Structure 1
């Protein structure tokens, strides 16, 4: 297949969101005496469960963005049996701490810039728009990527087809000429392939039936570079 444009997902594809999130929550745990009788891993686990559910509801337009931001910490505190009225200060501190831990995933920076020498590239991401814009700025992605698409600014989240349609228009090529590199099975693999994009799935997932949904599956960026001959 001759690709004409390469789109990347951002969180947990190029940037290590999971590690930054965990480190930010550890900072929260250390900072607030509120958590003195709560284990760090318990906080992280409960937050993950609550946050994942809230993002799912948000993607289905069942909660607003403001409700998501409030609920994920208010409900975490409630689940832990702590003072849920402190959700706002905990949430604000977390966002500052989270930003201090942003970094590239292993091999992602080299692959991104190697691919950039041969192909036009873009970024297509879910996430809060102001946070993702800060990441674009921090990692110089505005200057390197030809298209930077944040689904929240489009008005719907991946895997909604409108996001992929908008991103295709921004790329200026036909949808079957795009390769999308992403880590999420539902948002990236299913969303992209159902719209007609080619998808390279970055995953450690060993489920062969899911692998068949993607055009290419890799766990090491060297394999992606080899696929694209860069």
Structure 2
């Protein structure tokens, strides 16, 4: 298959969101005496569970982004048995520290830049618009990607087909000519497949049945480069 356009997911595909999240939460833990009796691991695990559920509700339009931002720290503190009235200051501090720890996934920068020389590329991402825009600027993705699509600006989140419809339309290509590189099975692989895109799944996941649903599965960006013969 000769692809005519390649889209990349951003968080945990090109950029290591999980590492930045944990580093930000580590700083939160050290900064607030609120967490003196709580281990970092407990904070990480509780926040991860709460945050994932809040993003799920947000994607289903059951809460808005302001409720998501409030709930993820208010509920984390509540579940930890801590003073949840301090959710706002904790959340604001987290965002300020999270941004300091953004970095490329190992090997992604070199392969992404190589692909940009051979294919027109774009970024298609969920996430808060202002945060994602800042990442585009910090990593100069606005200089290399022809289209930067943030689902929040469209009023829907992946895997909503409206997101893929818009992202397809702006390329001027048909869905079957697009390859989407992403890490999320439901958002990227299932969402892309459902709209007729080809998908490359970046994962450490060993579930063979899920692997069959992607056109290509890889856990090292060098393998993606080999797959595209560049």
Equivalence for 2:181:
181
Equivalence for 1:27:
27
- Runs of 4+ with deviation above 3 angstroms: none
Deviation at residue 172 of structure 1 after TM alignment: 1.5
CA RMSD across the alignment: 0.4
1:114 aligns with 2:114: yes
Report SS of the residue matched to 1:206: coil
Matches within 5 A, 1:1-230: 1-230=1-230
Report SS of the residue matched to 1:119: coil
The 2-side partners of 1:95 and 1:53 are apart by 19
The 1-side partners of 2:143 and 2:209 are apart by 38
Give the TM-score of the pair, scaled to structure 1.
0.99
The 1-side partners of 2:89 and 2:213 are apart by 42
Report SS of the residue matched to 1:100: helix
The 1-side partners of 2:84 and 2:2 are apart by 53
Give the TM-score of the pair, scaled to structure 2.
0.99
Deviation at residue 61 of structure 1 after TM alignment: 0.3
Q: Which stretches in structure 1 are left out of the alignment for 5+ residues? A: none
The 2-side partners of 1:229 and 1:208 are apart by 24
Deviation at residue 166 of structure 1 after TM alignment: 0.3
Q: Which stretches in structure 2 are left out of the alignment for 5+ residues? A: none
CA offsets, 1:104-157, max 9 Å, x none? 000000010000000000000000000000000000011110000000001100
The 2-side partners of 1:139 and 1:77 are apart by 33
Deviation at residue 229 of structure 1 after TM alignment: 1.3
Report SS of the residue matched to 2:37: coil
